[in-house]
Amino acid sequence: MNSSENEPPRLLRLTYVYERANHPAGNGELEYDLSTASWLRRHENACIQKMAECFLESYLRKRT
């Protein structure tokens, strides 16, 4: 067994999809490093980034 298989995941990928006027407007992926508690790939739109941060906070609270 590889030693990395025993380690908890370090990278969390959040896939997002959003719409405008009831039509698909965009999608993508954000990345968060759990070991350093920092975003590796952020969204340029502050509103979407804030929603991702709120989701991440809720997700991590449920996980522990």
What would the mean pLDDT of 38-62 be, rounded to a whole number? 96
Instruction: Please compute the mean of the pLDDT values over residues 34-61 and round it to a whole number.
Output: 96
Taking the domains of the chain in order of start, what are their residue ranges?
3-63
Alpha-carbon distance of 31 to 38, in angstroms, equals 9
b/e string for 6-41 if b means 16 or more Cβ within 10 A?
eeeeeeeebeeeeeeeeeeeeeeebebeeeeeebee
Length of the chain: 64
pTM to 2 decimals?
0.78
pLDDT band at 64 (very low <50, low <70, confident <90, very high): confident
pLDDT at 9: 78
For the stretch 1-20, pLDDT in tens is 445 567 777 999 999 999 99
